[in-house]
Amino acid sequence: MGFSIARVYDPRHDDGVRVLVDRLWPRGVAKGDGRVDRWLPEVAPSSDLRRWFGHDPARFDEFAARYRHELDAGTAVADLREIGRASEQVTLVYAAWDAEHNHARVLLDYLETALAAGTSPVTGPG
Tens digit of each residue's pLDDT (9 = 90 or more) over 49-86: 999 999 999 999 999 999 999 999 888 888 888 898 89
Task: Decide if 104 contacts 93 (C-beta within 8 A).
Answer: yes
CA distance 73 to 86: 24
**Strand 17-20, strand 38-39: pairing:** parallel
* Percentage of residues in the chain having pLDDT higher than 70: 90
